[in-house]
Chains A and B, each alone.
Chain A
Amino acid sequence: MKEINIDVAVIGSGIAGLEASLDVADAGYKVALIEKSPSIGGRMISLSKVFPTLDCASCITTPKMAAVSHHPFINMMTYTEVREIKKNDDGFDLYAIKKPRYINEGECISCKKCEEVCPVYIEDDFEHELSPKKAISIPFTNAVPQLPVLDMNKCIRCGACARICPKDCIDYLQKAEEIHIKAHSVIISTGYDITPMNAKKEYNAISIPNVISPLQMERLLAPHGPYGKVIRPSDGKIPESIAYVQCAGSRDKSIGVPYCSRVCCMYAIKQAMLLSGSLPLADITIYYMDIRAFGKGYEEFYSEARAMGINFVKAKVARITADEKGSPVLRIEHQEEASKPKEIKHDLVVLSQGMIPAVRDFLGLDLEINEYGFVSSRDKTLNPSQTNIDGVFVCGVARGPKDIPDTIADAGSAAVSAVNYIKSIKGKSL
C-alpha cells in the first residue's frame, strides 16, 4: 500500500478545500487535497457568474485550481475516495482508494484523441445531464488534471481509444490503488448537494421536463455551457417567460429541510439578471416568501434587479402541473392582493432548491453532526472551525449553508486552526 505522510489532509476540493489547502501550504505545511471526482474545483467551477460582483465563476476558480496543482506543498489526489479515517496518538490514518481512470496517468498528454474516436455517448454529469459526453473523456474544459476517465460500465471494449492513443496509455485492466495517508490534522470541506428534484411531490419536477434545477440553469447560462444559449429542455424553444420558485427545498418541514439555505434568494436574483441580459424580451418572475439579501452589496444587488424589471411576487407556489405543450403551470396565491388562488403559465421554471450536506458519514471518525447532517462546531463563539475532535476542522457548507464569500472567509479560519493545532502538538513533542 502506498503511504503518504503529510501535515493536513483536506477532504473535498471545492472552493472551501482549495482555499484552505492554499492557506495551509502557503504557511509552509504539507497538504494532501483529496477529491473523489476526477477534477478539483467542486461546485463552483460549474457555475456561470457569481453574485454580487458578477465575476465569471471560472475566472475566480481556475487560477486557484492552477495554484493548487502547481504548489510544491500540495499533493493533489483526485479521483480518490477516503474509505476509513482513524484517529491515533500521532494524528490520523486515512485509508483511501484511488479509482482507476483506465489510463496511464504519467504518460497521457491530454491530446483528447481517445475522446474523439470513442463511439459511445453517455450522460454528462458536469452538464447535469443536459448534454452527452463520450465514455472516455476529460471531465470538462477547465478540469485539473487534464486526464480523461473511461467509464468502464458504459465502455463497449471496441478498442478504438487504445488504437489511436499516441502514447499507448489506455489500460483496460487498471486496478484501484490503495493509499494510506498519515496526517496530523484533517480539514473537512465536503460541501453540499442540492435537495432532490422530487423532494416536493406537489412540484412534479421529475415528470415536467421544463422544470429544471438551478445548477442546470447555471450551465445554460455559462458561456461555454451545453447549448451556448438558454433554451428549454423539452423542445429547444427560447423561453419567453421564466419563473423561479423560491424555498423549493428550504424552510420546509415537509421535506425535512426547515432551515434557510442562505444562497437561493441571491442565486435566483443573479440568474434572473443574467437571463434578462441574454433574453432581453423574456418576462422573469421570482415567487418568494422573504428576500434574504443579507450579505455585503446584496441589498443593492436586489434593488438593481427590481430596477431591471424582474418581477418579485410574494407567494408560495402550491403546485406545478404542465399544459399540453409541456409548459409548467404554477398554482399560487398572491399575498399582496385579495384574490383567489391563480394558475399562471411559464415556459420554463427553476426550482430554487436548497443545500444539504454532501457527506454525512465520516467513515470511522466520531464526528458530531447536527440533526440535518452538517458538521457541528464544538464552540461556535470561540472557534467555529473546531469540531468535537481535536485536530479535525471544518469549513464551507460542510458546516452549514453558505455562499461563496462566506465560504472563502471560512476556509482561512479552518486553515489557521489546523496550522496552529500542528504547531501546538509539535511544540509539545519537542
Chain B
Amino acid sequence: MAEPIRLRMSAPDVPPPAPPDGGETGLAESLGHWSPTRALGRAVLVVSVLLFVAVLLRRADLVVLAAPFALGAAIGVWRRPEALPAVRVSVASELLSEGRPVQAQISVGNTDPIGYDLVVLRTATSPWLRLRHSDRPYVTSVASQTVADIDLEGEALRWGRPALGPTHAWAVAADGLLVSDAGVANARRLKVFPVTETFDAVEAMPKAAGLVGGHRSRRPGEGGELAGVRMFAPGDRLRRIDWRVSLRTQELHVAATLSDRDAEVVLLLDVLHEAGRSGGIQGARSVLDTTVRAAAGIAEHYLHAGDRVALLEYGFRARRLRAAGGRRQYLTVLEWLLDVSAQHGAYEPSPAAFGPHTVSANALVVVLTPLLDTRAAAMVARFARAGRFVVAVDTLPPDIPLPVQEGWGTLAGRLWKLDRDNTIGQLREHGVPVVAWAGAGSLDEVLRGVSRMAGGVRPGAR
C-alpha cells in the first residue's frame, strides 16, 4: 500500500472540547457524541444466539465461539474515548499566484487519554487547487493526546479565492463498534492572484489630467521631452535658453519642451456573462480568465508609468475601485480582481451606475468585454456618444466552439456569430475601436487612433 501522505505525531496544541452540559460526563453523555455501528449490533446478536443455543444444547464449545465477540466488544466499549477529534486546516501562505505551489496541512488532534482506532478525514477542496489525493478521504490512527499532521502539496491553478476545506473528521473506536460525531474545521480561503498578462503600450495617452506624470503630452510646457527651438519670449526661464543657437542667430532662443502629464485609466470589466471553459493557468481560457489577466496586465503597465487606474465592474454588483496610482494601488487592483465573477441577470444594470458621468472626461476607458450581450454594447456606445475615449477589448476566446447539432443548431450558431460581428461593426461606426486581446502591444494601434481623435474636436465632450 502506498503512503502518499506524511504523518507526524506530536503533543496536541488544541484545547479539549468542553462537555455538552459543562459538567461531568456519564455514560449516556459520553455516548452522546458517539454512535454504535452495525458491527456492535452484530456482536450482540451473535453472542446472544450462541449463548442461547449453548444453553439449549448444553454445548460449551459455542460459548468459546461467542467469547471473542463478547470480549472484543466489552474491552472496546469499556476503554472508549469520549472526546471528539479536533481538526484544523492551515496553509503555509495564503497569498499565492496562479501556477505557484500550495502547501497546506490538516491537523487532527486527540485530547482524550484513550487513542482512536482510526480517524477518517474528508476535505472539500476547490477544483482550482490541485492537491495530491485531496479528492480522497484520509484514514489515519491517532494515539492518545497527540496530533497527526497530514501534509498536502500541490499547486494553485486559477486566480480567485479558492477554498481549502471544510474538513470533517470522524473517529472510530472500540474496533469499529463506535463512531464519533464529526469534528469540523472551517474552510480556509486562499488568495490566488492572477498571472499578469504581459502588456506594453508605447503610444501617448489621448488626454492627460494633471501637470505631472510619465507621459509626454501634446501641449508645450515644462517637461523633459524636446519639442523644438523657438524665439525667447517673456516668461521663459533663463535656464531654457539654448546658447548655441542664440550665438549663431544673434538672438535669444529657448529649447521648447512638451509638458509631462499623468492620466487616468478606467478599466471597465463586463461580467454579465462567462463563456468558454477555464482550464486554469495551463489550460484553456474563459472570458473571465482573459478579462482578469488582461486587466491585471494593463493596470500594472499604467501604474508603473505613473498613471492613475480605476476599475469598474459592469454587472449587477457595480463594484468600483476609485482611481489611484502607485504600488499600493497595484496590490489593491490585484485583490479587487480576485472577487470578479459572472453576474447573470435579465435586467440591464442601472445606467446611473455606469453612465459616462461616472468617469472623468479625460480618462481613457478600456472596456474588457466579450460582446455577448447587447446591453454591454449599448453601454460602450453610450460612453462613445458622450465623448469619452473608449477602447473595447474583445475577451471572447477565439477558439470557443459553436454548437454543432442536428437540425437548426449549427445555423443558429452561425447567425449568432453574424449578429455579434454586426454589433462590433456598429461599435466601430460609433468610433469605438474593438480589438481582440493579444497581450503586449494589443492596444498600440487603437491607442494611436484614439490619440489622433483626441487632437480633433469632440462633439460630445463636456
Chains A and B are bound partners: no
